[in-house]
Amino acid sequence: MNTFQLVCFLTAAEHLNFTKAAEVLHVTQPAVGQQIHSLENELGVKLFTRTTRSVKLTREGKRFISDANQIVSISERAKKRFASTSTDEIEHLAIGCEGFPFMYQMMGVLENLKEKRPGIHPELQIIPFQHIYRMLDEGKLDAVVVFQTPAAAKASIYYLELQKIPMKMIYANSHALARRQEVSIEELRQEPLALFEPPKIFSNAVQLQAKLMEDRDVSDLHFCSSAEAITVLVSSG
């Protein structure tokens, strides 16, 4: 049994005319008759009764319509599913992220994208901040996931806010401030600090970081290129 046999059967059942079914399917009338005859032999039942003047469905033919429709429908769905991911139709989407935390923000976005555009294959890459906008401008990346920065304020870049992320301080578990819910800037100014490198800092934190750096001994300030680097430095004491 194959889907063409089933399509021939269903088309003939719809029109109750083998010649008309052949016209719809763009094949010859004998071809339709042969496919249906092979199907009847495989099933072991007669699906039609034919005379020189009419074609009628048998009781078994009427009952088989539902099964035939289901099989053809399943076959078509399978073809579409695999066709949507064929090599010719795959769309690669290069997405640059500053670090792993940004990748986590993409999980929900990618799930929605997969449902709406199953042919798209996202490629996530960790890209240093100092290169990420250049690669976007050069077309090496299709999109980037970063903190909103002055560098993003370009007419050529479309900006979409995914999520608001509050600023937080990171302490070692043993630090005296670790259990505090709130900490003042003056208290922080008394502590050695791990900060983002100036090119890495996002716009909302520029003023805060500037206040923390005022009149500080350079030896108390440690500049890092990523949140992961800050976490490792703080954890090590």
* 135 pLDDT more than 70: yes
The band of 12, judged by pLDDT with boundaries at 50, 70 and 90, is: very high
* Residue 63 in this model has a pLDDT that exceeds 70: yes
The mean predicted confidence, pLDDT, of the chain is 78
Bridge pairing between strands 91-97 and 143-145: parallel
Res. 202 pLDDT band, cuts 50 70 90: low
- Say which residue, 34 or 152, is predicted with more confidence: 34
pLDDT at 28 over 60: yes
Residue 126: the pLDDT is: 73
Cα 20 to Cα 28: distance, rounded to the nearest angstrom = 10
pLDDT of amino acid 62: 92
25, 8 Cβ separation under 8 angstroms: yes
Tokens 């064929």 belong to 86
Residue 73's pLDDT is what?
Answer: 84
Maximum average pLDDT range among 37-46, 111-120, 176-185: 37-46
What is the pLDDT at residue 199? 54
pTM: 0.42
Closest CA to 137 of 120, 152, 118: 152
Q: Hey, which of 37-46, 81-90, 102-111 has the most confident mean pLDDT?
A: 37-46
- The pLDDT confidence band at residue 9, using thresholds 50, 70 and 90, is very high
Taken in order of first residue, the domains within the chain and their CATH numbers are 3-83 (1.10.10.10), 87-152 (3.40.190.10), 185-235 (no CATH)
Instruction: Quick: pLDDT tens for 94-112.
Output: 888 776 566 666 677 777 7
Predicted confidence at residue 49, as pLDDT, reads 92
What is the share, in percent, of the chain residues with pLDDT greater than 70? 77
Task: Over range 3-15, report the average pLDDT.
Answer: 92
Of 198, 234, 231, nearest to 100 by C-alpha is 231
